[in-house]
Copies of this chain bind each other. A is one copy, B any other.
Amino acid sequence: MNIDALDTPTLVANLDVLEQNIDGMAAHCHQLGIPLRVHTKTHKVPEIAKLQIAAGSQGITCQKLGEAEVMVDAGIDNILIPYNIVGKPKLKRLTTLLKRAKIIVALDSEETAVGISQQAIADNCIVPVIVELDTGSGRCGVQSPQAAQRLAQQMMKMEGIDLQGIMTYPSNGRAKPFIDETLDLLSSDGIPVNIISGGGTGAEAASKEIGCTETRSGSYIYEGMTRVGSSEMLTPERCVLRLIVTVVSTPTPDRIIIDGGQKTFTSYPPTPYGHIVEHPDAKIYGMSVEHGHVNVSECSHRFKVGERLSVIPLHQGMTSNLHDTLVGVRGNNVEVTWKIAGRGKVF
């Protein structure tokens, strides 16, 4: 089928560029000598995760338990969930999932650890965990090497927990003193550290430099418009995703309206909302829920109702989460339709 036969707005992925990005990151990490554990939050498509594993990723990362369940359903068996698993329903799901795949979870508090331990005891299993360090991101994570040590000491006394190591995000030089001191303290307690997980697309070399045993990279898979312009190496040609949209109204000479708005692109600020590939001088200046508002005052091209445009979305992970399917194209040929199986797995 030709791409022009697709209804709009449709999310499509350029498979050639997707494969380039997968191979490029795999080669980059191989060259650096840092094992890659891809983060699948950006795409949420099991088939893409499998391509990443086939290219050398040693497993995957899922931000939520529900996404991990989807990936295990698809046959993926090595998953890090860098998220505090809290509450009875999720703890039960975690131990259930653990019987089907190798799962590691991150945590940052005694409360989370106790919950996991109690559920593991009840279900007669051992949960591998790592301690999240807040080395500057200001989100979750223990606040000091001493706090990491305290939590590790507490966990060593708990049944059902197998403390495997530590994690940080993002990997950078600022994290090194925190990590090094934590390693010293754990070593002095005789607590072995098998995993030092770092992360962030673009931080692969930093992960290696600060001593990580693996690096988590996610957004590289599509490359985002937010990164276009932030690096000389990155151009729209590297961006995998396009939203194929239709011009549905040309109300004034300066304005056209496309059939995708916040519900199609997400409302992620700031503007621009996306980059129109065929007419970069046409600027999406606003969006209502179902319409995109485009300023065409600087375009010589005269747009017509029914004309189709290809738009690179701004925040590719949030955009993917709004769509049920992703259409893989090679040139103008539709090659595959993937279900975005991890979409909406908020639990």
| Chain copies in complex | 2
Q: Which residues of B contact A323 (CB under 8 A)?
A: 344, 346
The A32-69 residues at the B interface (CB cut-off 8 A) are: 41, 63-64
- A344 to B140 Cα, complex, angstroms: 31
Q: In the bound complex, what is the Cα–Cα distance between A90 and B9 (angstroms)?
A: 11
Give the bracket for the number of chain A residues in contact with chain B.
35 or more
Q: Tell me which of A72-80, A160-168, A258-266, A274-282 binds B.
A: A258-266
- Chain B contacts of A89 at CB under 8 A? 7
B262 touches A318 (CB 8 A): yes
Chain B residues, Cβ within 8 Å of A252: 143
Task: Assess A86 versus B246: contact at CB under 8 Å? Given A108-B251, A289-B41, A322-B321.
Answer: yes
| Complex CA distance for A249 and B108, rounded to whole angstroms | 7
* Residue pair B344, A305 in contact (C-beta under 8 Å): no
Which of A249, A262, A267, A269 has most B Cβ within 10 Å?
A249
B142/A63 in contact, CB under 8 A: no
Question: Which residues of chain B are near A108, meaning CB under 8 Å?
Answer: 249, 251
A273 to nearest B CB, angstroms?
12
Is the Cβ of B318 less than 8 Å from the Cβ of A289? yes
| A257 adjacent to chain B (CB < 8 Å) | yes
A101-118 near B? 1/0 per residue, CB < 8 Å: 000000011011001000
Contact B267 A267 (CB under 8 A): yes
List 15 A-B pairs, Cβ < 8 Å: A64-B290, A84-B248, A86-B248, A86-B259, A86-B306, A87-B306, A109-B250, A112-B248, A112-B305, A138-B293, A139-B251, A140-B249, A267-B269, A323-B344, A324-B344
User: A interface vs B, CB < 8 Å?
Assistant: 7-10, 41, 63-64, 83-84, 86-87, 89-90, 108-109, 111-112, 115, 134, 138-143, 246-252, 255, 257, 259-260, 262-264, 266-269, 288-291, 293, 304-306, 315, 317-318, 321-324, 344, 346-347
